[in-house]
Amino acid sequence: MKLTTTSYAILGHLALRPWTMYELAAQMRNNVHYFFPRAESQVYAEPKRLVGHGLARVDKESVGRRARTIYSITDAGRAELERWLAERTAKGPTLEFEGLLRVFLAPLSSESALVDALNRIRDDVSEMLEAVDRVGSEYVAGTAPFQRHAMTRSIVYDFLASYAELADDWARRSIARVEAWPELDDEARHEEAMRIFRSHARAARRRRGA
Nearest CA-CA partner of 81 in 148, 177, 30, 14? 14
Could you report how far apart the first and last alpha carbons of the chain are, in Å? 45
Q: Which does 15 bind (CB under 5 to 8 A by kind): DNA, its own copies, none?
A: its own copies
Cβ proximity to DNA, 62 vs 112, nearer residue: 62
In the complex, minimum distance from the CB of residue 209 to its own copies, in angstroms, rounded to a whole number: 14
DSSP 19: E
Instruction: Please list, in sequence order, all residues whose beta carbon lies within 8 angstroms of the beta carbon of residue 35, skipping any fewer than 6 positions away.
Output: 156, 159, 160
In the complex, minimum distance from the CB of residue 13 to its own copies, in angstroms, rounded to a whole number: 8
Q: Identify any residues that bridge with 66 across adjacent strands, giving them in sequence order.
A: 63
Count of positions (residues) in the chain:
210
- 3 state DSSP class of 57: strand
Cβ proximity to DNA, 60 vs 206, nearer residue: 60
* 153 is a contact residue toward its own copies (CB under 8 A): yes
* 68 is a contact residue toward DNA (CB under 7 A): yes
Mask for 170-209, x = binds its own copies (CB under 8 A): x--xx--xx--x-------xx-xxx-xxx-xx-xx--x--
Binding interface with DNA (CB under 7 A)? 2, 4-6, 20-23, 25-26, 37-42, 44-45, 63-69
